[in-house]
């Protein structure tokens, strides 16, 4: 599976939007982009995923670059509960495995 590159850490003020970037320059045309997050002392949980078009759900939005070589997870209004490690993962269309990197550790400042 293609690799992703994320910043090790980011900070955000509470109630402000957060943009978490992910680079995946070797992505192939059929790779899905998945985002998971891991709250302290918990297992990872699903956030959002997409293929080509931007996606929205109740937790976040996913903005995918036109060339698909990068994507951005957008938390519209950060809360203290959003402090977590966020993982950007690529999965082939027929794949059934995730390869987690080290993710981005998000700190939310009150």
Up-side HSE of residue 14: CA atoms within 13 Å toward CB?
Answer: 5
Q: Smaller CB distance to other proteins: residue 17 or 101?
A: 101
CB of 109 to other proteins, least distance (A): 23
Q: Smaller CB distance to other proteins: residue 13 or 56?
A: 56
Strand 70-75 versus strand 18-23 pairing type: antiparallel
Q: For residues 59 and 75, give the distance between their C-alpha atoms in angstroms, rounded to a whole number.
A: 7
Two tokens, residue 46:
């699903």
Q: Smaller CB distance to other proteins: residue 53 or 97?
A: 97
Q: Smaller CB distance to other proteins: residue 34 or 83?
A: 34
CB of 17 to other proteins, least distance (A): 25
CB of 81 to other proteins, least distance (A): 16
Specify whether the CB–CB gap between 77 and 16 falls below 8 A: yes
| Contact residues for other proteins, defined by CB under 8 A | 32, 34, 36, 41-46, 49, 87, 91, 93, 95-103
Residue 12 dihedral angles phi and psi, to the nearest 5°: -145, 150
């Amino acid at each position: 599976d293609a690799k992703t590159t994320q910043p090790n850490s980011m900070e955000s003020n509470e109630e402000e939007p957060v943009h978490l970037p992910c680079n995946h320059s070797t992505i192939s045309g059929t790779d899905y982009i998945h985002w998971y997050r891991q709250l302290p002392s918990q297992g990872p949980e699903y956030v959002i995923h997409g293929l080509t078009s931007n996606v929205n759900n109740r937790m976040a939005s996913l903005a995918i670059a036109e060339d698909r070589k990068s994507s951005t997870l957008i938390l519209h209004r950060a809360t203290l509960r959003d402090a977590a490690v966020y993982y950007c993962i690529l999965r082939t269309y027929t794949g059934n495995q995730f390869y987690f990197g080290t993710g981005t550790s998000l700190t939310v400042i009150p």
